[in-house]
Amino acid sequence: MERSRHAPGSMGTASQDHLQELRRKIAAVGADGRARELAPEEKTARIPLGHAEADRALGGGPARGALHAVLPAAYGDEPAACGFAALAAMRLAGDRPIVWVRQDMAVREFGEIHAPGLAGLGLDPSRLTLVAAADARDVLRAGEEALRCAALGAVIVEPWGDPKALDLTALRRLVLAAEGSGVPALLLRSGGRGGPDAAATRWSVAAAPSRAEAGLGLGPPAFLATLERNRQIGGTGEPGSWMLEWNHERRRFEPATHSGARLPDAGDRPAEAEGAVVRLRA
């Protein structure tokens, strides 16, 4: 076999980057060619949502191997909660597959998950596997089974309403599965109002109006996301409430700019400059 004639130093930056990329990928492969299980520190890693202030409140972002609950703020906010959960799952999943377990009842109430709509948010549907569960018990069981599969990037668990099966024990089982594998669990509480809580973070999500300058057309998806419970920082993190807008190009959440003046780069904006959050509804 011929040895490489290139001295390491003679490599161009492009091939250096390529090498870096290869190293990263090889590191992710286990001895058997399968996805390597995450190291303990990777399992608890914080993945930023992109919104600087929200990420700061979470100590860097939602933790990977943890349960994150997403509730609609009111009846009619299910689509917003659904979108927020899907986008958060996508942020957390990296380039790994996503499993979405949903209860049949959720489909009857507000429709089946629509792959072209996910694609429109930047989530590649070919990464998605859907489990259609007949009842809440099956949702939890399938969710737990999926969470144990370390190759996944995220699992969205979507029961309907406030089922009895969704008790503290069931939630703890999800938490344990997520912590064990390092796979993030997003508990999307479509049609749900409350109930027991074992999640690391709990979000209440409402729809938010499109940006003003978008004229009469609809702007990018916007959310009013309230972090109601935050156990990520030493058990008692600060709650908070932010206007988020999804940036499709950069695949991240950014502060929504409803003042009318679009900022040059939302990511560079100092967090303090964001005004008080105002609920825009009656």
Partner 1 sequence: MRAGGASALAAVDEAAAALGLHPGMTLATARAIRPDLAVHEADPTADRALLSALADRAERWTPLVGLDGDDALLLDITGAAHLFGGERNVIEDAVSRFGRLGFSVRAAVAGTAAAARAVAECGGGGIVPPGGEAEAVAGLPIAALRLDAATQGGLLHLGLRTVADLALRPRAPLVARFGRAPLERLDLLRGLARAPISPRRAPPACIAERRFAEPIGRQEDVRRTILVLAADLARILERRGEGARALELVFFRADGAMRSVAVETGRPLREPSGVLRLFAERLDALADPVDPGFGFDVIRLCALAVEAFSEIAVRLDRGPDFEAELSALIDRLAARFGSRRVLRPAARDTHLPERAAPFLPAQHGNAALAADWTIFAPEADAAPPRPIRLMDPPERIEVLAEVPDGPPIRFRLRRVLHAVVRAEGPERIAPEWWRAPEGTPTRDYFRVEDADGRRFWLFRDGLYGRETDRPHWYLHGVFA
Q: Looking at residues 101 to 120 of the shown chain, list those that interact with partner 1 (rule: CB under 8 A).
A: 107, 110-120
Among 58, 86, 105, 136, binds partner 1 (CB under 8 A): 86
- Nearest distance from residue 118's CB to partner 1, in Å? 7
Shortest separation between residue 161's beta carbon and partner 1, angstroms: 16
Nearest to 154 by CA among 104, 103, 100: 100
Residues 123 and 91: their CA atoms lie apart, in Å, by: 10
- Within positions 14 to 73, which residues make up the interface with partner 1, using CB under 8 A? 22, 25-26, 28-30, 33-36
**Token pair 């130093």: residue:** 9
Contact between 133 and partner 1 (CB under 8 A)?
yes
Q: Which is nearer to partner 1, 187 or 243 (CB)?
A: 243
Among 140, 208, 244, 266, binds partner 1 (CB under 8 A): 208
Query: CA-to-CA distance for 63 and 47, rounded, in angstroms?
Result: 6
Closest CB 180 distance from partner 1, rounded Å: 15
**DSSP readout, 124-188?**
-GGGEEEEEESSHHHHHHHHHHHHT-TT-SEEEEE--SS-TT--HHHHHHHHHHHHHHT--EEEE
Q: How far is the CB of 98 from partner 1 (least distance, A)?
A: 10
Burial environment of residue 157 by CB neighbours within 10 A (0 to 12, 13 to 18, 19 or more): buried
**Among candidate residues 52, 83, 46, the one with its CA nearest the CA of residue 158:** 83
Does residue 188 belong to the site contacting partner 1 (CB under 8 A)? no
Determine which residue in the list 69, 70, 87, 92 makes contact with partner 1, applying CB under 8 A. Answer: 87
Nearer to partner 1, 43 or 211 (CB): 211
Could you give the angle at which helices 136-147 and 168-181 cross, rounded to 10 degrees? 20
Q: Is 176 in the site for partner 1 (CB under 8 A)?
A: no
Decide: is 219 part of the binding site for partner 1 (CB under 8 A): yes
Give residues 148-167 in contact with partner 1 (rule: CB under 8 A): 149-152
Contact 179, 200 (CB under 8 A): no
Q: Does 141 bind partner 1 (CB under 8 A)?
A: yes
The footprint of partner 1 on this chain (CB under 8 A) covers a number of residues equal to: 77
Q: Which stretch binds partner 1 (CB under 8 A): 44-52, 133-141, 194-202, 267-275?
A: 133-141
CB of residue 213 to partner 1, shortest distance in Å: 9
Is 84 near partner 1 (CB under 8 A)?
yes
DSSP string covering 189-226, please?
-TT--------SEEEEEEE-PPPGGGTTS--S-EEEEE
**Least spacing, CB of residue 96 vs partner 1, in Å:** 6
Instruction: Give just the sign of the alpha carbon dihedral 135, 137, 142, 144.
Output: positive
Residue with tokens 């040895």: 3
- Beta strand pairing status for 240-247 and 222-230? antiparallel
The correct pick among 48, 59, 125, 240 for binding partner 1 (CB under 8 A) is: 125
Member of 11, 38, 132, 165 binding partner 1 (CB under 8 A): 132
